[in-house]
Amino acid sequence: MKKTENQMLIIFGASGDLTARKLVPALFSLFKDNHLPENFVVLGVSRSNLSDSDFRKKVVQESEYLKKKTKDLDSKIIDRFCEKLFYEDLGKDYDTSYKGLQKRITDLNVEHGTDQNCIFYLSTPPSLYEAIAKNLAEVGLNDQNTGWKRIIVEKPFGYSLESARQLNDGLHQYFKESQIYRIDHYLGKETVQNLLVTRFANSIFEPLWNRNYIHHVEITNAESGGVELRGGYYDKSGALRDMFQNHLLQIVSLVVMEPPIGSNADEIRNEKVKALKSLRIMKDEKTLHDNTIKAQYISSIINGEKVKGYREEEGVDPDSSTETYAAIKFYVDNWRWADVPFYVRTAKRMPTKVTEVVIHFKTPHHQIFKDSGLNNKDNKLIIRIQPDEGILIKFGVKVPGQGFKVERANLDFYYSSLVENNVMEAYERLLLDAMQGDATLYARADEVEAAWEFVDPILDYWKNGKGVKTYGYSAGVWGPTNADELIEGLGMWRNPSENLADDPGFCVIC
C-alpha cells in the first residue's frame, strides 16, 4: 500500500451540496478504514458564516448523507472524525485577499503537524477557479518549497473548447500541470478502471479488440431520474456537456486506447489523449445531422404517477431546447478502429439507471450451420459499469437435439461475487489517489481539450445549425423512436435492464 503523507485538505465551497453529499462521506469512510494519514485536517472554506462546530454539525452530526454510514457506530468514532474538521469564513467574496486564510492554514498546520502539505479542493462554480488559484498564489499557497500543494477541480471543466483552454491557461499561471487534478468521478468507479484490466491483463480479449473482429461498439448511459433540483444548471448545460464530454468520452478513451507502455499516470494518459485525438471530428452539417440525435423528455405517467416534462422542471426555461437525451454515432480514425462505428447515448428519465459498454463482434465470416438461426446473434461482450456490476459474454451453443440449431448462452462474472473486498466509492478512491499524488485517474489538460474538440462542433451545430430538431420522448421510455435509425441496419440499441443477464425486452410487470 502506498504511504499517505500528513496533509491538510482545504475545501472551497464547503457549505455547498457536494461537500456534504460526497466529499465528507468519502472522507469519513477513509477515516474509518484507516486510510487517512496520522496528521490530517479538513478546513472547509466558503462564504457562509459558520463556526467549526456549526460546520461539523452540518456535514457530519446532522447530515442525512452520513446517517447510513454512522448508524451503528460508537459515537466516539464520529467525535474523533469531527475533531479533524474546521471551518473558515471567507466573507462576501471568493475573490479577496487570502491572508486570513493563509494564517488559519499556518496555525492549523502548527497545531496538527500537517507538514505544510495542502490539497485545495475547488467545489465552487468553475467561474471562480482562476480567481481562487490567483489568490492562493498571492499568499504563496502554491509554493512547493514548503510542503507540496495540489489543487483539485470539479467538473464542468469549461463550457466549450475555448473556455476549457482559457481555464487551463488561467490555472497554469499559478499551478503547474502536475499540481492540478481534474476530477471525473466515473474514473473513480471500479468498473471503469476494470476496462483497463479486462483489456490489458488478459491475453484473450486484446487480439480480438480491433476492426477485424469487432463490428460495432455501443455505450449506454441511462438514468431513470430527471434533472431533480438542478434545472437551473442543467438547462445551460444539457446531456452532451453534463455527461458525454466528460464521463462518456473517458469511457470511450479506455475502450479505444492502445496498450500503454506501463501503468503510471502519464503512460496511461498519453494513450488516452491519443485515443481522443483519433475520434473523427464531424465538420459538415450533413454528417452532424445524420449522426447525432438530441431529445428532451416530456411529461408522462410512470407507475401510476405523473412525472413532469423537462420544460416543467424548476429552473428550466419553458421553451428550452436543451437536450436531456443525446445519441452520437462516430468513427475512430486510426489503424485499430477504421470503419468501426461507435454508438454512444446518454439520457435522463429512461426506464432504468444503467451504464454499460457492449462490444458487438462480427458474425463468423463463413457460416457452416446455415439453418441454425445464427444470424443476428453476434457474440457480445458486455461490460456493466453500473448497477449489477460485472461482465457478460454472449456466445453460441448447440440446442440439444437433431441438427445444428444455435442458441446464445451467457458466461458471466459479477463483482458481487468478490464478497471479501470492500469496494471503495468513486470519491473515496479519487480523494485518496490525490492525497497520495497519483493522477492516473484524473484528467490532464490536453485530455480535456481533446474531448472538447470532438464535442464543440456538435454543440455548435445543435445551437446554430439549420433545421436541427429536438425530439420529444415520454419520460420513462428509451428515448425517441427515431434514435434506432442511427443504428441503421443493425436493428436497435440494446436496451438493458437493471440485471446484467436479462435480455433486452425483459420487464417486470408486478
| Separation of alpha carbons 474 and 296, rounded Å | 9
Are 355 and 381 a contacting pair, CB within 8 Å? no
- In this structure, are strands 406-414 and 390-398 parallel, antiparallel, or unpaired? antiparallel
As measured in angstroms, the least distance from the Cβ of 430 to ligand BG6 is 12
* Minimum CB distance to ligand BG6, residue 385 (Å): 8
Cell, residue 227: 434533472
Q: Is 223 one of the binding residues for ligand BG6 (CB under 6 A)?
A: yes
Residue 242 binds ligand BG6 (CB under 6 A) = yes
Grid cell, residue 325, equals 437525451
**Binding of ligand BG6 by 235 (CB under 6 A):** no
- What type of residue is 260? P
Distance (Å, whole) CA 380 – CA 394: 5
- CA 120 to chain centroid, in Å, comes to 21
- Edge-to-edge order in the sheet of strand 118-122: 85-89, 40-46, 7-12, 118-122, 149-153, 180-182
Is the distance from CB of 410 to CB of 417 less than 8 angstroms?
no
Q: DSSP letter string over 168-184?
A: HHHHHTTS-GGGEEE--
* Whole-number Cα distances in Å, 93 to 89, 122, 128, 383, 507: 10, 14, 10, 45, 52
Q: State which residue, 190 or 223, has the beta carbon closest to ligand BG6.
A: 223
172 catalytically annotated: no
Count residues binding ligand BG6 (CB under 6 A): 3
Considering Cα of 290, then 293, then 294, then 295, what sign does the dihedral take? positive
Shortest distance (Å) from residue 186 CB to ligand BG6:
7
- Positions in 243-272 near ligand BG6 (CB under 6 A): 243
Q: Which residues of 292-323 are buried (b: 16+ CB within 10 A; e: fewer)?
A: bbbbbbbebeeeeeebbbbbebeebeeebebb
Torsion angle, alpha carbons of 312, 318, 319, 321, to 10: -50
- Least distance to ligand BG6, CB of residue 276, Å: 18
Which one, 63 or 220, has the nearer CB to ligand BG6? Answer: 220
Q: How far is the CB of 243 from ligand BG6 (least distance, A)?
A: 6
Cβ atoms < 10 Å from Cβ of 453: 15
User: In this chain, which residue has its C-beta nearest to ligand BG6?
Assistant: 242
388 part of the interface to ligand BG6, by CB under 6 A: no
Measured CA to CA in angstroms, residue 38 lies from 3, 59, 108 at distances of 11, 22, 14
- CB 234, min distance to ligand BG6, A: 7
Kindly state the smallest distance separating residue 156's Cβ from ligand BG6, in Å.
8
- Minimum Å gap between C-beta 165 and ligand BG6 is 21
Q: How many CB atoms lie within 10 A of CB 286?
A: 9
CB contact at 8 A, 55 and 86? yes
Give min distance, CB of 231 to ligand BG6, in A.
11
Q: Report yes or no: 325 and 479 within 8 Å, Cβ to Cβ.
A: yes
Catalytically annotated residue among 185, 216, 247, 360:
247
The least CB distance from residue 223 to ligand BG6, in Å, is: 5
3-state SS, residue 427: helix
Nearer to ligand BG6, 8 or 383 (CB): 383
What CA–CA distance (Å, rounded) separates 372 from 369? 5
Identity of the residue, 98 or 297, whose beta carbon is nearer to ligand BG6 in the bound complex: 297
* Residue with Cβ nearer ligand BG6 (396 or 479): 479
Residue placing its CB nearer to ligand BG6 in the complex, 218 or 356: 356
When the beta carbons of 63 and 191 are compared against ligand BG6, the nearer one is 191
CB contact at 8 A, 313 and 226: yes
Q: Which is nearer to ligand BG6, 242 or 378 (CB)?
A: 242
DSSP, collapsed to helix, strand or coil, labels residue 498 as coil
Listed in order, strand segments (DSSP E) in 349-455 are 354-361, 380-386, 390-398, 406-414
Nearer to ligand BG6, 7 or 245 (CB): 245
Give whichever of 243 and 316 is closer to ligand BG6, judged by the CB atom.
243
Catalytic residue numbers, as ranges: 247
- Interface residues with ligand BG6 (CB under 6 A) are 223, 242-243
